[in-house]
Amino acid sequence: KTAWPVPLIEAIFLPNFKVSSDITKSYKIISPVAKGAFGNVYKVWKEDTHQYYAMKILSKSKILNESCVAQVKDEVKIQTICGHHPFIIDSPQYWQDRGRLYIVSNFVDGGDLFNLMEKYGALPEDIVRLYVAELASALDFLHNAGVIYRDLKAENVLLDSNMHAVVVDFGLSKWLRYGERTSTICGTLNYMAPEVFSLQGYGHAVDWWSLGILTYFLITNKVSGGIFI
């Protein structure tokens, strides 16, 4: 239960991130997984469930300095609403303490598509077709839920124990209804659609462009120049 009055540094992240210092103690950090702009991702162990999870620990001060409070709150809300899709990562728990935010997701242990390409090179067409179908299903689900993803790339597609695709990292995702447009220039350069750089704004179609670039990479093991081809 949150004690009131709540300090401003905690209140601005409510109600998405409940205030708790006790939840953190139930997780044991095993190893670092990745680094991001606002913090790091760790593989953690939870004793009461006997399961591994991925824990993203974010610095509140960095988020505030970049004016990204709404973006981070959207990230967890999108994962909560859309995480039940088989090819989208679920985020079952998230909270905050005085200085940090914590986002716990299911741990996906098969590496990512980029690692797979580094190991095997260009993939057989039937394998590529499977991954493209799974990613198309995930994108279609997100779009119908009113979400634009904006950062589809090989590094953001993890592989589960059965080697199925799992879309992760919703840090650049945004609520966007069909027919609406947005104008923030963001994403990974080689995967970004031309209209992202236009003054007219862009819609969900930019995610399909990124899927096309990713498909080219999986088939050829070559990084396309994107809009600079």
In the chain, what percentage of residues exceed pLDDT 70? 95
Overall domain count for the chain: 2
Residue 183 inside a domain? The answer is yes
| Whether residues 131 and 194 fall in one domain | yes
| Whether residues 145 and 54 fall in one domain | no
- Condensed to tens digits (0 to 9), the pLDDT of residues 129-146 reads 999 999 999 999 999 999
At how many degrees (to 10) do helices 125-144 and 69-82 cross?
A: 110
In the chain, what percentage of residues exceed pLDDT 90? 86
Mean pLDDT value across the chain: 93
pLDDT interval class at 229 (50, 70, 90): very low
| Whether residues 163 and 72 fall in one domain | no
Could you list the beta-strand ranges (E) of the chain: 18-19, 27-35, 39-46, 51-59, 93-96, 100-106, 147-148, 157-159, 165-167, 174-175
pLDDT over threshold 80, residue 3: no
pLDDT at 69: 95
| Whether residues 76 and 153 fall in one domain | no
| Whether residues 129 and 81 fall in one domain | no
The whole-model pTM stands at 0.91
| Whether residues 94 and 122 fall in one domain | no
Residue 38 inside a domain? The answer is yes
- Condensed to tens digits (0 to 9), the pLDDT of residues 149-189 reads 999 999 999 999 999 999 999 999 999 999 999 999 999 99
pLDDT interval class at 2 (50, 70, 90): low
Which active-site residues does the annotation give? 151
Q: What is the spatial distance between Cα 47 and Cα 156, in angstroms, rounded to a whole number?
A: 28
Q: What is the spatial distance between Cα 87 and Cα 209, in angstroms, rounded to a whole number?
A: 19
Host domain of residue 202 = 111-220
- Condensed to tens digits (0 to 9), the pLDDT of residues 11-47 reads 999 988 999 988 999 999 999 999 988 999 999 999 9
Residue 28 inside a domain? The answer is yes
Residue 121 inside a domain? The answer is yes
pLDDT over threshold 70, residue 216: yes
Tokens of 132: 């493209």
Query: How many Cα atoms occupy the beta-carbon half-sphere of 24 within 13 Å?
Result: 15
